Amino acid sequence: MTQKLPPVKIFSGTKSHYLAEQICKELGVELGKMNIQRFADGEFECSFEESIRGCEVYLVQSTFPNTDNLMELLLMIDAAKRASAKSIIAVVPYFGWARQDRKDKPRVSIAAKLVADLLSVAGIDRLITMDLHADQIQGFFDVPVDHLYASSCFIPYIQSLHLDELVIATPDVGGAKRANSYAKYLNAPLVLCHKQRAKANVVENMTIIGDVKGKDVVLVDDMVDTAGTITKAANLMMENGAKSVRALASHAIMSDPASQRIEECALSEIMFTDSIPFTKKCSKVTIISIASLFADTIRRVHNNESISSQYLIK
User: Is 4 considered catalytic here?
Assistant: no
By DSSP bridging, strand 190-199 and strand 202-209 are: antiparallel
Cα–Cα nearest to 293, from 278, 276, 277, 312: 312
Q: Residue 128 carries which side chain, given as an amino acid letter?
A: I
A 10 A CB-CB count for 204 gives 9
Q: What distances in angstroms separate CA 279 from CA 252, 259, 276, one per listed residue?
A: 10, 11, 9
Of the candidates 66, 73, 110, the one whose C-alpha atom is nearest the C-alpha of residue 90 is 73
Measured between alpha carbons, how far is 273 from 281 in angstroms, rounded to an integer? 16
Determine whether 229 is exposed, middle or buried from the number of CB atoms within 10 Å of its CB (0-12, 13-18, 19+): buried
Choosing from 195, 213, 215, 284, which is the catalytic residue? 195
**Is 79 in contact with 53 (CB distance < 8 Å)?**
no
Instruction: Give me the active site residues, please.
Output: 195
